[in-house]
Amino acid sequence: QVQLVQSGAEVKRPGASVKVSCKASGYRFTTYFIYWVRQAPGQGLEWMGLINPSGGSTSYAQKFRGRFNMTRDTSTSTVYMEMSSLRYDDTAVYYCTRAVRVVSAMDVWGQGTTVTVSS
């Protein structure tokens, strides 16, 4: 079946970096965009950006330009989100999800990865 499986929870110090993975299975990897969405504690969902696994092009929400970097590995059908210079307010659950077009709804979601930034 179609699945997005994310890497496990992370605890990082402020200023550190973390790389979260999202492995796709059950469909042709290059035919769907992968989005990242985060939910901070007590907050709503927030769209971070997308990557097109076909060519690797990316688009980031303005708030997430600079410290966030999405990449993909087509050989393993995996997308990565690397976050650098972590701050306390990066503490959140990070979800990967897919959409067949940029305008399309997000029809399959990963289980979420909790990233905690704590000293």
Partner 1 sequence: QSALTQPASVSASPGQSITLSCTGTSSDIGLYDYVSWYQHHPGKAPKLIISDVSNRPSGVSNRFSGSKSGNTASLTISGLQAEDEADYYCSSYTSKFTEDVVFGGGTKVTVL
Residues between 25 and 44 with contacts to partner 1, criterion CB under 8 A: 35, 37, 44
Query: Whole-angstrom Cα distance, residue 63 to residue 56?
Result: 20
**Residue labelled with tokens 């990070």:** 94
Q: Tell me: does residue 111 bind partner 1 (CB under 8 A).
A: yes
Indicate which single residue of 10, 46, 73, 82 sits in contact with partner 1 (rule: CB under 8 A).
Answer: 46
Indicate which single residue of 45, 66, 71, 88 sits in contact with partner 1 (rule: CB under 8 A).
Answer: 45
Cα pseudo-dihedral 55, 56, 57, 60, rounded to 10: 160
Phi, psi of 30 (to 5 degrees): -80, 0
24/37 with CB nearer partner 1:
37
Q: Tell me: does residue 80 bind partner 1 (CB under 8 A).
A: no
46/82 with CB nearer partner 1:
46
Sign of CA dihedral 105, 101, 2, 58: negative
